[in-house]
């Protein structure tokens, strides 16, 4: 059985080896392909919804409430963290 590391989400500012463990899943080759297909379908549906919103409306979505105050932002570079925090402070 061939095991692979699946990145649950891609963050362009991170190198593949810099991802936190909670964004990685070890799966076999077949399940890796299946998981990618299912995740892409979910991301496409979420993307269709997000395309109709501006950034302030996005922040009012119920899912944003699941983000911990700062830990979610730690995955992003400093300039992006600052932008996200600034947007949050404007509300």
37-43 contacts: CB < 8 A, separation 24 or more? 39/8
Helix (H) or strand (E) holding 26: strand 24-28
Whether residue 6 is found in the same domain as residue 45: yes
Whether residue 7 is found in the same domain as residue 36: yes
Render the burial of 10-24: b for 16+ CB within 10 Å, e for the rest. Answer: eeeeeeeeebeeeee
Q: What is the pLDDT of residue 26?
A: 96
Count the domains in the chain.
2
Whether residue 3 is found in the same domain as residue 23: yes
Single pTM value for the model: 0.60
**Residue numbers of the domain that contains 2:** 1-50
Q: What is the pLDDT of residue 32?
A: 93
**pLDDT by residue, tens only, the chain of 91 residues:** 899 999 988 888 788 888 888 889 999 999 999 999 999 999 899 889 889 988 878 777 776 666 655 555 566 667 666 766 665 555 5
Whether residue 38 is found in the same domain as residue 8: yes
């Amino acid at each position: 059985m061939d095991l692979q590391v699946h990145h649950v989400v891609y963050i362009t500012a991170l190198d593949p080896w810099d991802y936190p463990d909670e964004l990685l899943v070890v799966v076999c080759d077949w399940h890796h392909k299946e998981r990618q297909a299912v995740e892409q379908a979910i991301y496409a549906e979420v993307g269709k919804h997000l395309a109709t919103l501006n950034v302030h409306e996005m922040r009012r979505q119920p899912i944003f409430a699941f983000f911990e105050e700062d830990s979610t932002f730690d995955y992003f570079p400093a300039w992006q963290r600052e932008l996200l925090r600034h947007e949050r402070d404007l509300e």
